[in-house]
Structure 1
Amino acid sequence: MIKKWLSRIGIGSARVDLALEKLEYMPGEVVTGQFLLIGGAVEREVKRISCDLMRLNKGTDKETALESITILSSRSIKPEQVERVNFTFRLPEDLQPTEEDVSYWFKTTLHFDEGTASKDQDEIRIVPSDG
């Protein structure tokens, strides 16, 4: 009972980790990898996985969500279970390259049935296209 309550406030809860095949991409390239859903101390019901491509302009300190994907789910994650969900995301063609004042990352959120969530961030580097 205590484990279940603690997991609802995020202690010992299931978590998400986005594992990408690489960390450097060109604009318009397809990003592939897997969401790893990792069970915590108690079984949890997963409602959805959302993933946002984020950009930070360090000059203005402005974060912008450029594009998002959502995977609806009605699965249970058992304690200590690891489940894999394939991830595919086409980057926008008009991304400017990563520079000193511009950075990009994927912000992933695993949403549970009780309204709580687990979050993960994975920075990527955008390089100029060859053409």
Structure 2
Amino acid sequence: MFQKILASIGVGAAKVDTVLQQEHCYAGDPVRGAVRIEGGAVEQQIDSIYLVLSMLYTKEADDRKVKVQYDLDRFQLTEPILISPGEKREVPFSFLLPLETPVTFGSRSVWVSTGLDIKNSIDPTDRDYLEVLPSPLLGKVLESVQSLGFRLRQAECEELPHRLRQHVPFAQEFEFVPTSGPFHRKLDELELLVLPVAKDELEIVMEIDRKARGLAGLLSEAMDLDETRVRFRVVPQDLPQFAGKLEQMIFRYC
């Protein structure tokens, strides 16, 4: 009885550990792994084993920016099971990473939480961070921008206005600054807001921030009139000529 009381507050209770098969993954592709469970000091009934895929995005609240957790998906892996003292079990899993999952660039911003749902007890949990790389299509888009002399300054998930929302309340924005090439000293920055449409199709809202020149330019900058937004879609067939088309598009608006 005493051991059951201890297990109810987490002492000597079952433990959980999730092991992922791959070191990195891509949005739209499967994530595979296994949940390892080890029984504690007493027999316990586990009502369910579940995974929660979560990430962070930035939103404005009370005139300041705050980080908010968003759960992209939740998966129940098992029905109720009974785990004996010291027993070891392994539950394999596989799920598709949603297209909206942001690229992490080494940050700890996307993770999988694993939990055991045990009545009248503190639920054991485990957290594993995912390294999400740009999809082949997004990777080529970012390479094309960099080939024009831009350097990626930051990539951040930000809250979307309601008119732009599709399935989630955020999108990832890539902010570039010109360090060489035809737009050096002509633009302050170039921002790409990426909205996944399908695995092989992206919708992009590009913001071109022109460099202020003279009094008129400074006034425009103060009123945000120096920024131009362009919206377009990219599919794999566009890639061979994409860098050239992007250069023409930026020149047209800068």
TM-score by length of 2: 0.48
Q: Which residue of 1 aligns with 2:51?
A: 51
Q: 1:112 to 1:79 in 2, by over 3 A?
A: same
More relative contact order in 1 or in 2 (CA 8 Å, sep 6+)? 1
Q: Which amino acid aligns with 1:7?
A: A
1:94 Cα deviation after fit: 2.4
Structure 1 position 26 matched with structure 2 position 26: yes
Percent identity reads 29
1:10 Cα deviation after fit: 0.7
Give 1 or 2 for the bigger CA radius of gyration: 2
Query: Structure 1: any 5+ residue segments left out of the alignment?
Result: none
Distance 1:102 1:15 in 2: 23
**8 Å Cα contact 1:53-1:107 kept in structure 2:** yes
**Matched length:** 131
More helix by share: 2
1:101 Cα deviation after fit: 6.5
**8 Å Cα contact 1:57-1:102 kept in structure 2:** no
Give the match's secondary structure for 2:98. Answer: coil
Q: 1:99 to 1:81 in 2, by over 3 A?
A: same
**8 Å Cα contact 1:37-1:83 kept in structure 2:** yes
**8 Å Cα contact 1:53-1:67 kept in structure 2:** yes
Distance 1:7 1:57 in 2: 36
Q: 1:102 to 1:75 in 2, by over 3 A?
A: closer
Q: Which residue of 2 aligns with 1:123?
A: 129
Query: Structure 2: any 5+ residue segments left out of the alignment?
Result: 59-64, 138-254
Give the match's secondary structure for 2:5. Answer: helix
Q: Which amino acid aligns with 2:28?
A: G
Q: Which residue of 2 aligns with 1:6?
A: 6
